[in-house]
Amino acid sequence: MSEKNKKYLLNNDDIIKIFKEKLDYMIERNFYWGEESKLITSMKLSFKNKIMKNLNELMDNIDFSNNLFLIKNKSIELLEHSMNTCLCASIMSNFLKYSEEDLKIIMAGSLLHDIGKIFEQEVSLEDDLEDTGHVEKGFEHIKNFSDIEPIIRRLILEHHERVDGTGEPRKITGENIHYLSKVLAVCNTYDNLIARSYSKGKNSPSDAVEYILGSAGVVFDYDVVKFFFKKIIPYPVGSLVRLSDSRIGVVSSIPKDFPFRPNVRVVKQLATTVSMEDISLLDSPSLIITSILEEVPNPSVQSYLKHGFN
């Protein structure tokens, strides 16, 4: 094998390392756990250890890891999306106090939820909301060529169902959709919409927030969406953002239960001096964040670069 091809290899250890770095980042930056304390710190550490234990067990399963490598070989972006969705769904399952068995199931199901896309000629995350043909392809592939548990296959099959019964592929209603599939559906869509936003040069999660909130009770389970937006942090502390009135500031803190309406510290230029003004978006309903000018660096990007992926 040539040196050029060698750098595009990604082994089990690489995936585990990248996953851990993403886990650390998302727990500390993308989800609201409450005011920092020894208890919160202990909770985070315990959860990280539980997640990594589950991932190691999954990667030790040849059947599972082979399917994950099929995703990686199809598209690094698809692997990235699968890991993002898995982490989001896993963290949400923890907040929702689901069992350890549920956590294992949703980790496996969300990592493989887009396995059907390996059969598509081109993979585009942007098409995911409309093109759902990969769902049945993935379900049939796992059913016919692996020993992966039926409940995990069910999550793969149901992640594009809608609670109003107009989803794909079976058009089942909310009461018939597995509760873990409902969490997976929200996390999958959120990450896809974030990717779509960035591909169009609009570096803001606001469209994702608006779409999911507007679809609660129709596409997505209302209670899952309500809880999701109490915990997800679209604009991590330290992000440089632009407001709808064109002012630029830094996200300074996250209010409890309203993480998508952060507090922003704005530079205010006076005649002879510069001062800082603190703005609460929660108290300023007419203001929104229109773009992220610079995010807090995500360490997993460095891991991809280190291995030659782009």
Give per-residue pLDDT as tens, 56-68: 999 999 999 999 9
Q: How does DSSP classify residue 217?
A: T
SS3 255: coil
pLDDT score at 226: 93
Instruction: Return the sign of the alpha-carbon dihedral for residues 232, 184, 216, 242.
Output: positive
Instruction: Tell me the average pLDDT across 9-37.
Output: 90
pLDDT tens-digit readout, 4-13: 444 456 788 9
User: How far, in Å, CA of 253 to CA of 265, rounded?
Assistant: 9
pLDDT tens-digit readout, 187-202: 999 999 887 766 555 5
Residue 55: pLDDT over 70:
yes
pTM here is 0.88
pLDDT tens-digit readout, 141-159: 999 999 999 999 999 999 9
Q: How many CA atoms lie within 13 A of 187 on its CB side?
A: 32
Contact status, residue 114 vs residue 135, Cβ threshold 8 Å: no
Instruction: Identify which has the larger pLDDT, 305 or 134.
Output: 134
Residue 90: pLDDT over 70:
yes
Q: How many CA atoms lie within 13 A of 137 on its CB side?
A: 11
> Residue 117 — very low, low, confident or very high, per pLDDT cuts 50/70/90?
very high
Partners of 266 in beta bridges: 249, 277
SS3 263: strand
pLDDT score at 96: 95
Contact status, residue 287 vs residue 264, Cβ threshold 8 Å: no
Q: How does DSSP classify residue 259?
A: T
Q: How does DSSP classify residue 264?
A: E
pLDDT tens-digit readout, 167-176: 999 999 999 9
pLDDT score at 310: 41
CB within 8 Å of 188: residues ≥ 6 apart: 85, 89, 110, 113, 128, 159
List the domains of the chain with CATH numbers: 3-234 (1.10.3210.10), 240-294 (no CATH)
Return the structure tokens found at 244: 């709808």
User: How far, in Å, CA of 81 to CA of 182, rounded?
Assistant: 17
pLDDT score at 53: 97
pLDDT score at 6: 44
Partners of 216 in beta bridges: 220
Q: Shortest CA distance to 159 belongs to which of 181, 129, 127?
A: 181
Q: How does DSSP classify residue 295?
A: P
Instruction: Return the sign of the alpha-carbon dihedral for residues 194, 196, 198, 201.
Output: negative
pLDDT score at 159: 96
CA angle at residue 86 from 95 to 29, to 5 degrees?
A: 60
Partners of 292 in beta bridges: 241
